Chains A and B, each alone.
Chain A
Amino acid sequence: MTASDSAATALMTFADIGKAFGQGASSITVLRDINLSVARGEIVALLGPSGCGKSTILNIIAGLLTPSTGVARYAGKAVEGLNHQVGYMAQSEHLLPWRTVAGNIQAPLEIAGQSRQAMTRRVAELIDMVGLKGFAEAYPSQISGGMKKRTALARLLAYDPETLLMDEPFSALDAHLRLHLQIELRALTRRLDKTLLFVTHDLEEAVTLGDRCVVFSARPGRIIKIIDVPLPPDRDIMRLRYDDAFPKICRELWSLLAPELENSPA
């Protein structure tokens, strides 16, 4: 799939999106001229220097922010109000400290009004899926950062949104833990047939996860280039670094990103 692919089959399209915060002379433009379409089942990494408006794109498609110019469409319809087809996972897990791991995962099922037995079964399934066995009754304050991410991921999957929006969810984790979660996230997204928009400032993470990488300029963010990642869909992330294509694509991304980093304020 390429950037110019037909918008007809696309799940999400961003047409001439621009966004400015504030008014008059003090307004700050964070995004401009964003044109992007994402197909169903695709994993797209949004890569750019911090403050370039990558997260704003997620907020626009989730219906949390309205674009200043242009239209964002989801499944062919312009996004107005909250978009319940998407699930959002941010840097902070936003878990409920007063609920156990199981209780947190159960929250969206309660909202959906499921029966007690159905919820118990589903929660057990999800805990198994994200590798949290034995921690069901722990409170968030008792578990590690990686486990909190797993809990947030299980909660996200519990209400089964067709699209996952992730805003640097693994940035606070160490490299090994991050790699593990990247492997699992990619496998789960593929297995459950989800579409994933993943914001990151880490180019290796973008290559590891993405089918495509969208490279953003420094603020005001616009799309510099959209690159197809030439790695197989069923990639073995553990051995990815042995693949000759990996350093090549990282070099290419770096050549695009480095000038932008020089432009963006430290």
Chain B
Amino acid sequence: MNHAMKIALRRILIIGVFLAIWEGASGRLMSPFFISRPSAIATRLWSWAIDGSLFINMAITAMEAIAGFVIGGVLGALAGLALGRSPVLAETLNPIINAFNSLPKVALAPLFIMWFGVGYEMRIIFTAIIVFFLVFLNTYSGVRGVSRELVNVFRLMRAQERHLMRMVIVPSAITWIFAGLRLSVPYALIGAIVSEIMASNAGLGYLIAYYASQFNAAGVFAALVGVMLLSFLFNAGIRLLERVLMPWQEVDEQREVTI
């Protein structure tokens, strides 16, 4: 048996034991009213899968999260690059940006509902703002971390700012941009789901809120499984994108390491 299979088997074992204890405890140690039971959750998921409502609601949440993720990520990266390369701009704007960043974004949700209504626009903007700050801050520190010697070597080669951006700055910062993006995945979901819980009639957040209001623990847990599934897919997507955009990293990982 190879290493990967052993690891997978261990994981399945841990999850299996956890589910078995949960199933066993439900009804004996704790009321299923509060914790439901894995079999009931599986049944619920199965019925949602058959009538398609699982995928519809997942797709709605995914659409909002992805749209917010893309808008916030692109704007965050651009702002990070601009401020990272312009000391004057950075000096001027940094305290303002930090002040905004220190606000808990969830506290802005009611204001956003007031401004943009309860439609998907509000949820996308809300998600985008959360992602923006994470990606911006990472990109900014990435750009500031670019070796100034390297920049000088290229400036002696007559490189203009656009050459520097394309050849040196963006590729150096891209590992940081991705660190920001990876960090943003759960927050993008938080943004989409929190806003769905607050104001929506569709999406996984709506399912969570709806079944909780019905005191239906199995429904809530089933929706949470959907959230986990979505986050898993998002992370896989980011990893794929990293492979495609940073081929040199894979080479470096495969290198045999010595001292």
B167 contact set on A, CB distance < 8 A: 96, 99, 107, 110
User: Residue B163 contacts which of A82, A110, A141 (CB distance < 8 angstroms)?
Assistant: A110
Residue B115 CB within 8 A of the other chain: no
Residue A108 CB within 8 A of the other chain: yes
B168 contact set on A, CB distance < 8 A: 96
Does B251 contact A141, Cβ atoms closer than 8 Å? Answer: yes
User: Residue A94 contacts which of B150, B158, B159, B251 (CB distance < 8 angstroms)?
Assistant: B150
Residue A111 CB within 8 A of the other chain: yes
Does B252 contact A64, Cβ atoms closer than 8 Å? Answer: no
A64 contact set on B, CB distance < 8 A: 152, 156
The residue in chain A whose Cβ has the minimal distance to the Cβ of B152 is A64
- For B147, B154, B163, B248, the residue with the greatest tally of chain A CB atoms inside 10 Å of its CB is B248
Contacts A141-B255, A142-B255: A98 and B156 contacting too (C-beta < 8 A)?
A: no
CB interface residues, A 78-98, toward B, < 8 Å = 82-84, 86-88, 90, 92, 94, 96-98
CA of A145 to CA of B150 in the docked complex: distance in angstroms? Answer: 18
Does B248 contact A111, Cβ atoms closer than 8 Å? Answer: no
Does A94 contact B149, Cβ atoms closer than 8 Å? Answer: yes
User: Residue B153 contacts which of A88, A99, A142 (CB distance < 8 angstroms)?
Assistant: A88
Residue B157 CB within 8 A of the other chain: yes
Does A111 contact B158, Cβ atoms closer than 8 Å? Answer: yes
CA of A142 to CA of B257 in the docked complex: distance in angstroms? Answer: 11
Q: Closest approach, in angstroms, between the C-beta of B80 and any C-beta of chain A?
A: 18
Residue A118 CB within 8 A of the other chain: no
Residue B105 CB within 8 A of the other chain: no
Does A82 contact B147, Cβ atoms closer than 8 Å? Answer: no
Residue A62 CB within 8 A of the other chain: yes
Residue B155 CB within 8 A of the other chain: yes
Q: Closest approach, in angstroms, between the C-beta of B62 and any C-beta of chain A?
A: 31
CB interface residues, B 217-259, toward A, < 8 Å = 246, 248, 251-252, 255
Does A139 contact B246, Cβ atoms closer than 8 Å? Answer: no
A88 contact set on B, CB distance < 8 A: 152-153, 156
CA of A232 to CA of B168 in the docked complex: distance in angstroms? Answer: 42
CB interface residues, A 215-239, toward B, < 8 Å = none
Number of interface residues of B (CB under 8 A): 21
Q: Closest approach, in angstroms, between the C-beta of B49 and any C-beta of chain A?
A: 42
CA of A111 to CA of B158 in the docked complex: distance in angstroms? Answer: 7
Contacts A94-B149, A96-B171, A98-B246: A107 and B251 contacting too (C-beta < 8 A)?
A: no
CA of A139 to CA of B152 in the docked complex: distance in angstroms? Answer: 22
Q: Closest approach, in angstroms, between the C-beta of A166 and any C-beta of chain B?
A: 13
Contacts A90-B149, A107-B167, A110-B167: A98 and B157 contacting too (C-beta < 8 A)?
A: no
Does B156 contact A111, Cβ atoms closer than 8 Å? Answer: no
User: Residue A82 contacts which of B150, B156, B255 (CB distance < 8 angstroms)?
Assistant: B156
Kindly supply a per-residue 1/0 record for chain B positions 134-162, scoring 1 wherever the CB is within 8 Å of any chain A CB and 0 otherwise: 00000000000001011011111111100
Residue A25 CB within 8 A of the other chain: no
A84 contact set on B, CB distance < 8 A: 156-158
B158 contact set on A, CB distance < 8 A: 84, 108, 111-112, 159
Does B171 contact A159, Cβ atoms closer than 8 Å? Answer: no
Does A108 contact B157, Cβ atoms closer than 8 Å? Answer: yes
CA of A97 to CA of B154 in the docked complex: distance in angstroms? Answer: 14
B147 contact set on A, CB distance < 8 A: 94
CA of A35 to CA of B248 in the docked complex: distance in angstroms? Answer: 46
Does A107 contact B252, Cβ atoms closer than 8 Å? Answer: no
CA of A107 to CA of B147 in the docked complex: distance in angstroms? Answer: 17
Q: Closest approach, in angstroms, between the C-beta of A95 and any C-beta of chain B?
A: 9
CA of A90 to CA of B150 in the docked complex: distance in angstroms? Answer: 10
Q: Closest approach, in angstroms, between the C-beta of B241 and any C-beta of chain A?
A: 15
Kindly list the 8 A-B residue pairs having the minimum CB-CB distance in the complex, ordered from nearest. A98-B171, A108-B157, A94-B153, A98-B248, A141-B252, A94-B150, A139-B251, A111-B163
9 interchain pairs (CB within 8 A)? A87-B156, A99-B248, A107-B154, A107-B157, A108-B157, A111-B154, A111-B159, A112-B158, A141-B248
